[in-house]
C-alpha cells in the first residue's frame, strides 16, 4: 500500500503535469507528455496512447513506449508505429470487447488486469505473440478512457507492467494508481480537446486568410505568388535573426507563439489588395487600362498613313495625263518620307509604352511633341491632336508603368490592410499582427508610407517583413511589367537601399551573412536567376 508521503508526492506530480499540459501547443508533444506522465506516476514499464479517429469506430496508435525493451514509437521518437489500428466493432457490427483498449473506449470504463495470461475475459493472443518474439512478459494492464467535456471518449491511455518502487518487480496497478491515472486522463482529455479546438480554429482562420489570398489571386495572377513567397522569406530571415548570438540583434528571440504571430502577419500583409482595382494591379504597360491603348494609337498611325497616300494619289490625279513625271515622283517621295516618319514615331511610342527603363527627359519631350504637333481626323471627321492629355501623361511616366494617381491607388492597399486588420478582435498572442503586416512599406529614414515611421518606431518583425517584401518583388518573375532579376542584381539594389536608409542595415547584414537569400532562391527562383553574389 502507498504511504501518505508517496501519495502526496504523486499528487504533486499530477498537479505539475496538469499545468504543463495546459501550456503545450504541439499536439504530438502533448500526447507524448500524457503517456510519459502516466508511466512516471504509476512506475509502469510500458504504455500506449490511442486516439479515437473521426469516424468514432477506430482507435489509432499514437505513442508507444516500453522502457525495458528500449522501444519508442510515435510521438517525437522519429519511428512510426507499425501496429494496425484497433476497430471498435467486428465485421458483424458487434462491439469488439475482446481487446482491452477497445473495451475501455466502447464502455467508457477503466479496465485493471492483474495478469494478462490468466485473464479469461479478453483476447491477449496478440500480446502473447509479441512476448514470444521479444522475450517480454506482459502482465499487469491498466486501460483508462480519456473523455472530453461532453463525456465523449477521445482516446485511451493503456499502461503495462506496474513495478514496485525501487525494483523491477511487476505488480498489480493499485487502486491509487488507477485513481491517479483516471484523474490524469481527465486532465489530459481536457488539455487535448482544448488543443484540438484551438488547432481547428487556427486552421479555420488560416483557411479564411488563404481564401482572401485566393480572391486576390483570382483578381490578379501576378500577386498570388507574392502572398505565398513573402511569408516564407519573412520566416527564413526571422529564424536567421533568432539564431544570431552576436551584434545588435543578439537579444531577438522567438517562441512558437511569436513564430505563429509573424506567420499570420506575413500571410495577411497584402490583404488590402482585395480593394485595389485589377486594371491597376495588372498594369503591364503605360497605356494599359482594361486593354492596352497602344493599339488605338497604332490605328491612328494607320489612318495618317492612309491619308498621306490618298493625298499623294489625289495630287497625281490632278496631273493626269502625266504631264510632269518628275513632279509625280517628287510627290510619292514626299509621301514615302512622311510614312517613314509616322512609322518611326509609332515604333518610338510602342517602345515608350513598355516602361522597362527609366525614361529620359528628351524622350518625354518627344512624346509631348508627337501628341501636340501631329493631328488626325477622328471618326467624326474632326481634326484633333494625335494624343490625348491622359495618353501623354501615361506615356511620359518616368519609371515603371503607373501614374502618380495609380501609384497612390496601389499604395492605398497598405492603408486598407491596416484598416482591415485593426478592426479584428485579435487575441493577445496575435495582437501585433496589424503592426507587423502594416509596416512593410515604411523606411528606416521615415520616408516610407503610410505613417512615415522611422526605424526606432518599428518592431524588428515589421522591418524583417519590409526586406522580404522588397527582395521578393525584385526577384519575382511573374510580374506583368518586368522580368525577375538575378540574385546579384537584386542584392546590389538592396545594398543601395541599405545605404540610403530604406531598409534595416543590421537585418540585411544577417540576410546576407546567414545565406538567407540563397535558401530562398533555391526554393523559389528559376535556376537561371541564381548567380554568384559578391558579398
Domain borders along the chain are 4-198, 220-280+406-529, 294-401
What pLDDT sits at residue 380?
73
| Sequence-distant (≥ 6) Cβ neighbours of residue 362 within 8 angstroms | none
User: What's the number of CA atoms in the CB half-sphere (13 Å) around residue 308?
Assistant: 22
| Sequence-distant (≥ 6) Cβ neighbours of residue 133 within 8 angstroms | none
The span from the CA of 49 to the CA of 424, in Å, is 39
Residue 44: enclosing H or E segment and its boundaries? strand 44-52
Q: Are 182 and 65 spatial neighbours (Cβ–Cβ below 8 Å)?
A: no
The span from the CA of 403 to the CA of 391, in Å, is 11
4-198 against 220-280+406-529: fold identical = no
The span from the CA of 233 to the CA of 521, in Å, is 10
pTM, two decimals, is: 0.64
Residue (of 378, 406, 395, 359) closest to 303 by Cα position: 378
Residue keyed to cell 469516424: 55
Query: Per-residue pLDDT for the chain (535 aa), expressed as one digit of tens each?
Result: 455 556 556 656 655 665 566 666 677 887 888 888 888 888 899 999 999 998 889 999 989 999 999 999 998 888 888 888 999 998 888 998 999 999 999 999 999 999 999 999 999 998 999 999 999 999 999 999 988 878 889 899 999 999 988 788 999 998 988 988 888 888 777 777 877 888 888 889 889 888 887 877 777 666 557 778 999 999 999 999 999 999 999 999 999 899 999 999 999 988 877 777 666 666 666 666 665 677 677 777 777 777 788 788 778 777 777 778 888 888 889 888 888 888 898 888 888 888 777 889 999 999 899 888 888 877 677 788 888 888 888 888 888 777 777 777 777 778 888 898 999 899 898 999 999 999 988 999 999 988 999 999 999 999 999 999 999 989 987 655 566 789 999 999 999 999 999 999 999 999 999 999 999 999 999 889 988 888 7
Q: Which set of grid coordinates corresponds to residue 244?
A: 544570431
The span from the CA of 311 to the CA of 19, in Å, is 94
Residue-wise DSSP of 477-497: S--SS-PPPPHHHHHHHHHHH
Three-class secondary structure assignment of 243-290 = CCCCCCCCCCCCCHHHHHHHHHHHHHCCHHHHHCCHHHHCCCCCCECC
CATH of domain 4-198: 3.30.450.40
The span from the CA of 418 to the CA of 122, in Å, is 62
* Angle, CA 357 vertex, CA 351 and CA 359 arms, to 5°: 80
Which homologous superfamily is 220-280+406-529 in? Hypothetical protein af1432 (1.10.3210.10)
Q: Which set of grid coordinates corresponds to residue 424?
A: 479584428
Amino acid at each position: 500500500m502507498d504511504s501518505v508521503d508517496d501519495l502526496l508526492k504523486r499528487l504533486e506530480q499530477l498537479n505539475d503535469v496538469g499545468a504543463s499540459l495546459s501550456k503545450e501547443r504541439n499536439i504530438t508533444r502533448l500526447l507524448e507528455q500524457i503517456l510519459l506522465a502516466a508511466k512516471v506516476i504509476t512506475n509502469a514499464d510500458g504504455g500506449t496512447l490511442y486516439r479515437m479517429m473521426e469516424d468514432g469506430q477506430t482507435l489509432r496508435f499514437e505513442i508507444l513506449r516500453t522502457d525495458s525493451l528500449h522501444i519508442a514509437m510515435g510521438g517525437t521518437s522519429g519511428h512510426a508505429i507499425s501496429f494496425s489500428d484497433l476497430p471498435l466493432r467486428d465485421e458483424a457490427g458487434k462491439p469488439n470487447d475482446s481487446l482491452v483498449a477497445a473495451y475501455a473506449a466502447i464502455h467508457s470504463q477503466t479496465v485493471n488486469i492483474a495478469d494478462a495470461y490468466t485473464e479469461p475475459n479478453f483476447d491477449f493472443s496478440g500480446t502473447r505473440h509479441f512476448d514470444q518474439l521479444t522475450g517480454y512478459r506482459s502482465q499487469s494492464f491498466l486501460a483508462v478512457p480519456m473523455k472530453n467535456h461532453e463525456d465523449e471518449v477521445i482516446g485511451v491511455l493503456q499502461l503495462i507492467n506496474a513495478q514496485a518502487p525501487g525494483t523491477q518487480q511487476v505488480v498489480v496497478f493499485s487502486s491509487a494508481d488507477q485513481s491517479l491515472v483516471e484523474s490524469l486522463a481527465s486532465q489530459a482529455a481536457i488539455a487535448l480537446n482544448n488543443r484540438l479546438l484551438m488547432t481547428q480554429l487556427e486552421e479555420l482562420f488560416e483557411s479564411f486568410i488563404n481564401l482572401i489570398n485566393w480572391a486576390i489571386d483570382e483578381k490578379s495572377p501576378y500577386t498570388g505568388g507574392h502572398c505565398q513567397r513573402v511569408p516564407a522569406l519573412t520566416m527564413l530571415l526571422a529564424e536567421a535573426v533568432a539564431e544570431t548570438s552576436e551584434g545588435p540583434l543578439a537579444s531577438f528571440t522567438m517562441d512558437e507563439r511569436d513564430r505563429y504571430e509573424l506567420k499570420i502577419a506575413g500571410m495577411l500583409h497584402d490583404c488590402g489588395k482585395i480593394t485595389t482595382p485589377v486594371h491597376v494591379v495588372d498594369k503591364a504597360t503605360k497605356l494599359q487600362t482594361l486593354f492596352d491603348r497602344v493599339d488605338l494609337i497604332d490605328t491612328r498611325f494607320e489612318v495618317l498613313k492612309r491619308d498621306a497616300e490618298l493625298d499623294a494619289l489625289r495630287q497625281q490625279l490632278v496631273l493626269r495625263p502625266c504631264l510632269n513625271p518628275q513632279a509625280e515622283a517628287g510627290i510619292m517621295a514626299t509621301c514615302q518620307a512622311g510614312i517613314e516618319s509616322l512609322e518611326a514615331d509609332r515604333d518610338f511610342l510602342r517602345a515608350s509604352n513598355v516602361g522597362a527603363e527609366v525614361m529620359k527627359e528628351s524622350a518625354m519631350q518627344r512624346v509631348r511633341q508627337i501628341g501636340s504637333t501631329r493631328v488626325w481626323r477622328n471618326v467624326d471627321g474632326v481634326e484633333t491632336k494625335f494624343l490625348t492629355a491622359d495618353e501623354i501623361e501615361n506615356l511620359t511616366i518616368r519609371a515603371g508603368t503607373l501614374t502618380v494617381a495609380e501609384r497612390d491607388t496601389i499604395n492605398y492597399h497598405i492603408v486598407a490592410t491596416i484598416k482591415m486588420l485593426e478592426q479584428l478582435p485579435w487575441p493577445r498572442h496575435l495582437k501585433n499582427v496589424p503592426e507587423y503586416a502594416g509596416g512593410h512599406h515604411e523606411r528606416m529614414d521615415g520616408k516610407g508610407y503610410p505613417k512615415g515611421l522611422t526605424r526606432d518606431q518599428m518592431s524588428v518583425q515589421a522591418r524583417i517583413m519590409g526586406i522580404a517584401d522588397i527582395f521578393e518583388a525584385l526577384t519575382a518573375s511573374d510580374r506583368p511589367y518586368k522580368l525577375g532579376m538575378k540574385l546579384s542584381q537584386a542584392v546590389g539594389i538592396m545594398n543601395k537601399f541599405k545605404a540610403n536608409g530604406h531598409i534595416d542595415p543590421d537585418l540585411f547584414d544577417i540576410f546576407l551573412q546567414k545565406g538567407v537569400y540563397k535558401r530562398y532562391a533555391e526554393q523559389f527562383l528559376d535556376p537561371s536567376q541564381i548567380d554568384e553574389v559578391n558579398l
